[in-house]
């Protein structure tokens, strides 16, 4: 399973014209109307991909736990797989005796179900990147790969990190014991869209690099003689929208109501004791605060959103919520009604229809469909098996 971060139905035509993804598309079945989950941010969505559950059930409601006054650069993230409350594909595969590997997958640190794991964990100020990766990943394998291939990684920023991820995947398949199951997360496009804008030249170039990285992984599978027996699952989590105007919602809300806003980008959760006062203030200052929509507890529940959030907002078009004055470009965290909330899912390989189309699906259907192919057990999954992909 290869996750292409920050791509949606809006990008499908361009993306599947690129050579490596076009090859997989011609060999498999594609759905461009895959409903993602609320909130439309990376960690909750990737956990839904891995579990078949919504955030309300799997417990990963944001990229980060709510940490109040902790400065943004010092905030911990949901790094560890143990923070997920339900069974994952990694666990189900390990229980069946399969060899599982994972590269840069969110919420997969300290993962007892992988034999080789290079998780997505980034150093906070004062932390050593290598020591943190050794702590959260598979120490011996991470150390071995660092000694062999570390010089090929210019930095831990994009696009260098994605290229290194592709190198690690390539070496996994060319090793004496290729994995039975691999999950990998490619983030280059997301970074470029955040930094430069949704349709920037940098974002277009990142799509090209992403296709090249996919090609590197696919070619390694071919060299290993495993291509004809490998199912490729290409997925995405959310798109992007330009949001050049940043609003300091948390600071304003804290000053006037004592409540706090936890930014989702183009949305925010509202935390605090007096949510009624916070709602009144948001209603009275909609235009000033760029509030597009206010979610009450019932609506959040209907979206299978987090159980510990009872009030939330979407930003007006072109706006986002920031924690400090800063230049903003592309963002996500928007409503499920946006076109960019319909994401991509391509399957190719044995047992998959060639040149097929699935009209509609949901992100929570990914794990049940894969578990069905691999004959695994995911009893808590809320999604369904998408038979349209299968022969």
Extents of the domains making up the chain: 2-239+337-389, 245-328
Q: Could you tell me whether strands 361-362 and 116-118 are parallel, antiparallel, or unpaired per DSSP bridges?
A: unpaired
- How much is the pLDDT for 325? 83
pLDDT tens-digit readout, 200-213: 999 999 999 999 99
pLDDT tens sequence across 343-359: 999 999 999 999 999 99
Residue 327 has pLDDT above 90, yes or no: no
Q: What is the pLDDT of residues 135-160, one digit of tens each?
A: 999 999 999 999 999 999 999 999 99
Percent of the chain with pLDDT over 70: 100
Contact between residue 278 and residue 253 where contact means Cβ atoms under 8 Å apart: yes
Distance (Å, whole) CA 276 – CA 120: 37
Distance (Å, rounded) from C-alpha 224 to C-alpha 200? 37
Contacts of 250 (CB under 8 A, 6+ apart): 260, 261, 262, 263, 268, 321, 323
Q: What gap in Å lies between CA 162 and CA 246, rounded to an integer?
A: 28
* pLDDT at position 328: 81
Q: Tell me if 358 sits within 8 A of 30, measured CB to CB.
A: yes
Q: What is the mean pLDDT of the chain?
A: 97
Question: Is the CB of residue 307 less than 8 Å from the CB of residue 349?
Answer: no
Q: What is the pLDDT of residue 26?
A: 97
| Mean pLDDT, range 6-34, rounded to an integer | 98
Whose tokens are 């993230």? That residue is 77
What is the pLDDT averaged over residues 377-384? Answer: 97
Domain over 2-239+337-389 is classified CATH 3.40.720.10: yes
Averaged over 84-109, what is the pLDDT? Answer: 98
pLDDT grade for 326, boundaries at 50, 70 and 90: confident
Residues 6+ apart with CB under 8 A from 288: none
What was the pLDDT predicted at 161? 97
What's the mean pLDDT in 71-86? 96
Q: What is the pLDDT of residue 272?
A: 97
Q: What is the pLDDT of residue 158?
A: 97
pTM here is 0.98
Question: What is the rounded average pLDDT of the residues 11-22?
Answer: 98
Tokens standing for residue 20: 């490596």
Q: What is the pLDDT of residue 13?
A: 97
Q: At what angle do helices 201-223 and 188-196 cross, to 10 degrees?
A: 180
Do residues 368 and 350 make contact, with C-beta atoms less than 8 angstroms apart?
A: no
Q: State mean pLDDT over 311-333.
A: 93
Give residues with Cβ within 8 angstroms of 17, minimum separation 6. Answer: none
Q: What is the pLDDT of residue 60?
A: 98
Q: What does the DSSP 8-state code read for residue 188?
A: H
* Total H helices, total E strands in the chain: 15, 17
Query: Does pLDDT of 33 surpass 80?
Result: yes
Continuous segment of H or E residues that includes residue 111: none
Phi, psi values for residue 9, rounded to 5°:
-55, -30
Confidence (pLDDT) at 324: 84
Position 315 scores a pLDDT of 98
Residue 240 pLDDT greater than 90, yes or no: yes
User: pLDDT digits over 268-305, tens only?
Assistant: 999 999 999 999 999 999 999 999 999 999 999 999 99
Nearest to 104 by CA among 43, 32, 28, 62: 43
């Amino acid at each position: 399973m290869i996750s292409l971060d920050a791509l949606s139905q809006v990008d499908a035509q361009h993306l599947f014209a690129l050579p490596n993804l076009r090859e997989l598309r011609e060999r498999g079945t594609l759905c461009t109307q895959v409903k993602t989950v609320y909130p439309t941010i990376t960690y909750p969505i990737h956990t839904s991909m891995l579990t078949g559950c919504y955030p309300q059930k799997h417990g990963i409601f944001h990229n980060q736990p709510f940490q109040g006054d902790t400065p943004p650069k010092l905030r911990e993230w949901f790094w560890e797989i143990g923070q997920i409350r339900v069974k994952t594909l990694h666990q189900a595969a390990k229980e069946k005796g399969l060899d599982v590997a994972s590269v840069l997958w969110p919420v997969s640190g300290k993962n007892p179900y992988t034999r080789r794991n290079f998780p997505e964990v980034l150093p906070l100020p004062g932390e050593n990147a290598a020591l943190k990766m050794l702590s959260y990943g598979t120490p011996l394998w991470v150390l071995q790969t660092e000694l062999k291939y570390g010089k090929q990684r210019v930095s831990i920023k994009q696009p260098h990190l994605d290229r290194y991820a592709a190198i690690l995947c390539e070496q996994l398949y060319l090793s004496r014991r290729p994995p039975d199951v691999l999950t990998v997360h490619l983030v280059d496009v997301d970074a470029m869209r955040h930094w430069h804008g949704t349709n920037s030249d940098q974002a277009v170039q990142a799509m090209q690099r992403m296709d090249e990285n996919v090609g590197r992984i696919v070619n390694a599978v071919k060299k290993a003689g495993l291509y004809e027996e490998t199912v490729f699952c290409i997925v995405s989590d959310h798109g992007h929208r330009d949001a050049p105007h940043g609003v300091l919602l948390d600071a304003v809300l804290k000053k006037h109501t004592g409540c706090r806003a936890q930014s989702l980008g183009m949305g925010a959760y509202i935390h605090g004791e007096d949510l009624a006062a916070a709602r009144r203030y948001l209603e009275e200052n909609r235009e000033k605060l760029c509030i597009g929509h206010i979610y009450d507890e019932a609506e959040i529940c209907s979206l299978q959103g987090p159980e510990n959030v009872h009030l939330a907002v979407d930003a007006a078009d072109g706006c986002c919520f920031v924690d400090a004055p800063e230049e903003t470009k592309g963002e996500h965290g928007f409503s499920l009604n946006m076109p960019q909330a319909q994401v991509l899912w391509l399957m190719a390989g044995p047992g998959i229809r060639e040149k097929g189309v699935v009209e509609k699906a949901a992100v929570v259907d990914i794990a049940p469909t894969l578990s069905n192919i691999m004959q695994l057990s995911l009893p808590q999954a809320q999604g369904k098996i998408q038979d349209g992909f299968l022969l």
